[in-house]
Amino acid sequence: MIDLGVNIDHVATLRQQRHTTYPDPIRAALLAEQAGADLITLHLREDRRHIQDADVWALRPQLMTRMNLECAVTQEMLDIALKVKPDDVCLVPEKRTELTTEGGLDVVGGFAAVADAVSRLHDASIRVSLFVDPEPAQIEAAARAGARVIELHTGAYAEAKQAVQIQAEIERLKIAVAHAKTHGMRVNAGHGLHYSNVQPIAALDGIAELNIGHAIVAQAIFSGWQEAVREMKGLMVQGRLAGLRDESFTLGA
């Protein structure tokens, strides 16, 4: 109905904070799968601030579901992805100084490099997703670059404070989904989604998968890791069902 990709980056953030061996993101991934995650997402950043190369290699043979490896469009990352062979690679932009992924990949501006990366990954039978803002020009460019999947960056939606802004962001995402569908693309979404804002996005017809990490890791402090995963998946399914029934939501309820 709608897939949940549990992003384990911030389990590793906590570990790297003290350079301990715990909490173990591999254990988190396997427990998340048991709790209903449909795939596991992890972002190997160039600065290795959370996920480490060893995590990616250790996780690959143990996953029962899908591995969605997020990485920048660099030679180093493409070499790693081509060796690890995850099910999906999601190409994302990166800035060393950013706190988190601030916006979508500029497929228009970096077209040649992105198209080349898509083609090399496809040649290795890896499905490629491009993490883009809900902008028509970026979606067009993603299609021209050969990507069969996009992940819409929901950060602007998550950060919107006023009801009118929130509604405008939902409309922008809705239009982006419809646009991508005219190119026959699979549409995923994620970034900044939380227990209080996930349902209107899950309700959008045509969105296949939501990737969610920070909020689940934070919620796990209070309700436990597997319960936090189950709760998020439950909200998503409820949201999708309400969307199918054309019901609206009380945001933040």
Ligand X SMILES: CC(=O)[C@@H](O)[C@H](O)COP(=O)(O)O
Ligand Y SMILES: NCC(=O)COP(=O)(O)O
- Among 129, 138, 211, 219, contact with ligand Y (rule: CB under 6 A): 211
Give yes or no: 94 in active site. no
Which among 13, 209, 190 is positioned nearest to 101, based on CA atoms? 190
Is residue 100 part of an annotated ligand binding site?
A: yes
What does each C-alpha distance from 244 to 171, 191, 202, 215, 239 come to in angstroms?
17, 23, 10, 25, 9
User: Is residue 245 marked as binding?
Assistant: no
Instruction: Spot the catalytic one: 151, 179, 191, 231.
Output: 191
Read off the amino acid at residue 233: K
Buried b (16+ CB within 10 A) or exposed e, 4-38: bbbbbbbbbbebeeeeeeebbbbebbbbbbebbbb
Among residues 23, 104, 134, 192, which is the contact residue for ligand Y, using CB under 6 A? 192
Query: Contacting ligand X (CB under 6 A), which of 20, 62, 100, 223?
Result: 100
The conformation of residue 210, written as its DSSP 8-state character, comes to: E
Written as one letter, the residue type at 95 is K
Told to check if 214 binds ligand Y by CB under 6 A, we report yes
Q: Would residue 153 show up in a list of annotated catalytic residues for this protein?
A: no
Q: How far apart are CA 90 and CA 104, in angstroms?
A: 11
Interactions with ligand Y, residue window 16-45 (CB under 6 A) = 41
Question: Could you say which of 4, 7, 32, 89 contacts ligand Y (CB under 6 A)?
Answer: 7
Does 130 help bind ligand X (rule: CB under 6 A)?
no
| Closest CB to ligand X among residues 134, 213 | 213
Gap between the terminal Cα atoms of the chain:
23
**Number of alpha carbons in the 13 Å side-chain half-sphere of residue 61:** 4
Residues 143-182 that bind ligand X (CB under 6 A): none
d(CA 117, CA 91): 9
Check the annotation: does 188 bind a ligand: no
43 is catalytic: yes
Binding residues for 1-deoxy-D-xylulose 5-phosphate: 9-10, 45, 50, 100
Write out the residues near ligand Y by the rule CB under 6 A.
Answer: 7, 41, 151, 190-193, 211-215
Binding residues for 3-amino-2-oxopropyl phosphate: 7, 18, 192, 213-214
Write out the residues near ligand X by the rule CB under 6 A.
Answer: 7, 9, 43, 45, 70, 92, 100-101, 131, 191, 213
